[in-house]
Amino acid sequence: MDDVYVEKVCRGDTESFRYFLKKYKDMAFSLCVSILKDEFLAEEVVQESFIKAFHGLKSFNAKSSFRTWFYRIVLNEAFQRLKKNKREFIEFQPGYNEEIVDESMLWTLEQDEQIHHINEALKMLPDRESVALRLFYLEEESIKDVCEITGWSESNTKVILHRARKNMLSALKKIIKLNH
């Protein structure tokens, strides 16, 4: 379906670009927040990414899908903003002050609380791990697509996902312990 709208926009039907805005704005925002850890900056980067995609659409080649091409733009813009702002984030350190928490505690939480805890835990992870989890689990991208979007090798992607899952569990245990 994206192909049809790419063609329409390239032929001058700029209103058709709204299709991409509606379809990808939430994903782009989620991805940017996971990298920038700041919703205001994430909104700016999402806007810049859509503008860049709109202007670059004529040079888009169909080697990849629009989705993976756009994800790549979003990631590049977010990392450029991160470098530009020269912000330093405290990375989650596995094993730090970790105590055993019953894993079943997570499943007893209300759904909204679970979502809140998951988002907080994602913010605690290093950028690469947070991006990998969001793409693979929340956006349901395949390993192959995650590799294409991020530029990582397949083996590197699998290692990052493995570490991310372990660190995510540790982060969730800490959050649950602090809140209960």
pLDDT digits (tens, 9 = 90+) for 145-166: 899 888 899 999 999 999 999 9
pTM: 0.65
34 close to 131: Cβ distance less than 8 angstroms: yes
Tell me which of 3.40.50.2300, 3.30.530.20, 1.10.1740.10, 3.30.750.24 is the CATH number of domain 2-85. Answer: 1.10.1740.10
Is-contact 77 45, C-beta < 8 A?
A: yes
165/133 Cα distance (integer angstroms): 8
Q: Where in the chain is the domain with CATH 1.10.1740.10?
A: 2-85
CATH of domain 104-179: 1.10.10.10
Q: Which among 3, 35, 173 has a CA at the least distance from the CA of 104? A: 173
E strands in the chain:
none
pLDDT (0 to 100) of residue 86: 55
Query: 82 Cβ partners below 8 Å, 6+ apart?
Result: 35, 36, 127
- The CA–CA distances, whole Å, from 139 to 44, 80, 124, 172 equal 21, 22, 19, 20
Confidence band, pLDDT 50/70/90 cuts, at residue 120: confident
43 neighbors 29 (Cβ within 8 angstroms):
yes
CA gap 35, 82 in Å, rounded: 8
pLDDT digit string, tens, across residues 78-93: 888 887 775 444 344 4
Every domain range in the chain assigned CATH 1.10.10.10: 104-179
**Mean pLDDT, all residues of the chain:** 82
